[in-house]
Amino acid sequence: MNDGRLGLALRLPNLMFLVIVAIATALTTALLGVQPPIEWEAWAAAAVAAITIGVLTYRSRTLAGWMHRRMTYRRSSRDTIAVYEAEGAGITWDGHRACTYIEVLPQPYATTILTGTRDSVIAALPIDDIREELVQFDIHCDAVTFVTIGHNYDRPNKAATAYQASIGPTTALLYGRTFIEVGITLSESLDSIYARTGTDDVPAGISRTVTIAAERIRRRVAHDGWKTQLLTKSNLEELHAAIAAQLNPALTQEHWSACGPKSMQAIAYTPGPGAWTTENYREWCRLNPHRQIHIARLERRQGADHAEMFIGLLTSDPRALNTVTALGLRREHGQQGDILTAALPLARTVRPTAIHGKALPEASPFPIPLVPGGIGTYIGQTANRSQVFVNFTVGAEPFYIFGPAAMCQQLFVWLSTSGRSIDIALPGDEWKEFATRLGVTHSSNSDADIVITTPQGLPTAAHPNQVRLVWTTTAPDTPPAYALIAGPDECTLHTPTRQIRYRWSVSSAEEAFFTLGRTRRTATPAPNTAAAQPQPGNGQSGAQRTPPAPARVTGRRRAAAPATPEPPASGQQPTSGQQPKRPATIRRPATPATPEPPSSGGRHSAQPRRP
């Protein structure tokens, strides 16, 4: 297969075509009695036509081949293939090829910082390490395929609109799933299969061979810092069903240049020869369709590595993709379904042809950093305007949120766009109303992917990857392993490896979802945080209608403070020697009116409810 745009096909059918054209030209000129120089012109015209039609190729296919494919194009049926369990893994078999699958997950609460420049460091798959496993002693992998289906929001709604307005286009997908398909063929690995059959039959040898190959690749990926697991039969069926729900409506209406109805079309592209760059890959991720499908296939051909890549985009507005050709993407006509079915583990896949591939010299690194899954949920900006993301796909220890209710509710507005199931197990009608606004459950789904509770109601994890969030307004002197800690000027993301300071702000579109904890600007000065008796401006939130932001939490031990401080009398000012300090506020498009100071006997005199 020629990886360039133009080439020559000199196989036996092409040579036979040239012979037939030559014979036809000779007979025609003889019957017509054509004499030179007209005879020479006839031979020249016939030669040009024959080479153009039957020898010269465009993307590895001759003009005659393109015409034949277009005239005989029919939508193919997408059958499912056999799947069974052996050696602790689910294995698919289509009659000549066996495959097993590895799911790639991030580490719990993985953090990514996007700088907005080319200097952003985003964790990627160790493709070059995996290339070394294409041939494993006597095992020759037919191909290793990387599949990511991802999105920036699960479905279009008001929360997704507010979220996208807050962060803008990003150079990586936010959410998604990634799996690696490891395949062997019976014809290329027959000796390896027989060597591992033992006293059993050939299917047992096939299962052992493909599982060994997949396990070696899994260890390579895990060594690079990713969580990995071989998918069982039930895992494969669940994964196939989840992806098929997105692709089947399009595959049932496959056309020459796209799949699906106009309301939601799936269009497959391949990168051109010069488009295999990190910059182009990040620009593809900045596109904002309903779903993105990234498929990269590695194989070894005649001792050299070869790669093919496909980009599938699901969109309700195909006109928005008219400019992708400027990013090096070329639409694949006539094989849209063949490309998209590669993302379905249990679907019978037909290998696409006439594809721009990439030859990979042994000493040359893979040119594109493939990012598995997504980078997670945005939480804020650093002082230099870099964006901070936390991946809530995989949980481990509880993740704490120390801050006002508005900070907690804003995070869940963003999480609601991920498509993961959420259960808010915080008491109070305000939280029940908030769950209703987001379309998530309230204290009724303990098996949800993400649950949030109070410290007193923290449950045990219902499944290994469940994310458990804990919200409270009081931060301890020693923060837990994973936490968001609100401060008067900046918030802190605390992890076992580092601390990241970022700024937190709320837009009016996000605030429309809140049911409590709406922060407002206030002119009342806050006392020094070193005072033993905190004023109501430090650390209170939740039941108050207009709570100030909590005090900065530092690594130093603070003087003990009562659990519920008494509010000051009307007109109380800081004592002499204390410097007034403007409390932290949340930026809003317009500054609201200054609230009245609390007074005795009013609604502010009641003790604030704690969540």
Position 368 in a domain: no
Residue 317 makes CB contacts below 8 A (sequence gap 6+) with none
Domain that holds residue 23: 6-71
Do 61 and 132 lie in one domain? The reply is no
Do 89 and 40 lie in one domain? The reply is no
Do 54 and 88 lie in one domain? The reply is no
Position 384 in a domain: no
Do 427 and 547 lie in one domain? The reply is yes
Confidence (pLDDT) at 170: 93
Q: Which residue has the tokens 């928005």?
A: 320
Position 283 in a domain: yes
DSSP state of 343: G
Write a three-state SS string for 493-554: EECCCCEEEEECCCCHHHHCCCCCCCCCCCCCCECCCCCCCCCCCCCCCCCCCCCCCCCCCC
CA dihedral 281, 287, 288, 294 (to 10 degrees): -30
* Long-range contacts at 285-288 (CB < 8 A, ≥ 24 apart): 285/170, 285/171, 285/172, 285/173, 285/371, 286/169, 286/170, 286/171, 287/313, 287/321, 287/324, 288/152, 288/164, 288/169
Do 406 and 279 lie in one domain? The reply is no
Quote the CA–CA distance of 313 and 289 in Å, as a whole number.
6
Domain boundary residue, one of 333, 360, 387: 360
Per residue in 463-505, pLDDT (tens digit) is 889 999 999 998 888 889 999 999 888 999 999 999 999 998 8
Domain boundary residue, one of 51, 71, 91: 71
Neighbours of 215 (CB within 10 A): 18
Tell how strand 291-301 and strand 97-105 pair up.
Answer: unpaired
Position 318 in a domain: yes
Per residue in 358-367, pLDDT (tens digit) is 999 988 999 9
CA angle 236-241-247, nearest 5°?
120
Partners of 267 in the beta sheet?
313
DSSP assignment of 102-114 equals EEEEPPTT-EEEE
Neighbours of 118 (CB within 10 A): 9
Q: Which helix (H) or strand (E) holds 177?
A: strand 175-185
Give whole-number Cα distances, 367 to 280, 281, 293, 303, 363, in Å: 11, 10, 19, 19, 12
Domain boundary residue, one of 312, 344, 360: 360
Partners of 483 in the beta sheet?
400, 494
CA dihedral 153, 154, 156, 161 (to 10 degrees): -30
Residue 29 makes CB contacts below 8 A (sequence gap 6+) with 39, 42, 43
Confidence (pLDDT) at 546: 40
- Tally of domains in the chain: 3
Do 403 and 430 lie in one domain? The reply is yes
Position 608 in a domain: no
Task: Flag residues of the chain having pLDDT under 70.
Answer: 1-5, 118, 517-611
Structure tokens at 498: 């580092």
Structure tokens at 440: 């998530």
Residue among 550, 536, 513, 552 at smallest CA distance from 595: 536
Do 86 and 56 lie in one domain? The reply is no
Per residue in 442-471, pLDDT (tens digit) is 999 999 999 999 999 888 889 889 999 999
Do 290 and 175 lie in one domain? The reply is yes
Residue among 542, 539, 517 at smallest CA distance from 526: 539
Per residue in 518-543, pLDDT (tens digit) is 544 333 343 343 333 333 333 343 33
CA dihedral 357, 363, 369, 373 (to 10 degrees): 90
Position 162 in a domain: yes
Per residue in 205-242, pLDDT (tens digit) is 999 999 999 999 999 999 999 999 999 999 999 999 99
Do 148 and 27 lie in one domain? The reply is no
Do 429 and 538 lie in one domain? The reply is yes
Do 339 and 206 lie in one domain? The reply is yes
Do 222 and 266 lie in one domain? The reply is yes
Interhelix angle 158-167/405-415, nearest 10 degrees: 100
Per residue in 261-284, pLDDT (tens digit) is 988 999 999 998 889 999 999 999
Position 377 in a domain: no
Partners of 114 in the beta sheet?
387
Confidence (pLDDT) at 72: 80
Position 609 in a domain: no
Find the distance separating the first CA and the last CA of the chain, reported in whole Å.
64
Average pLDDT, the chain: 84
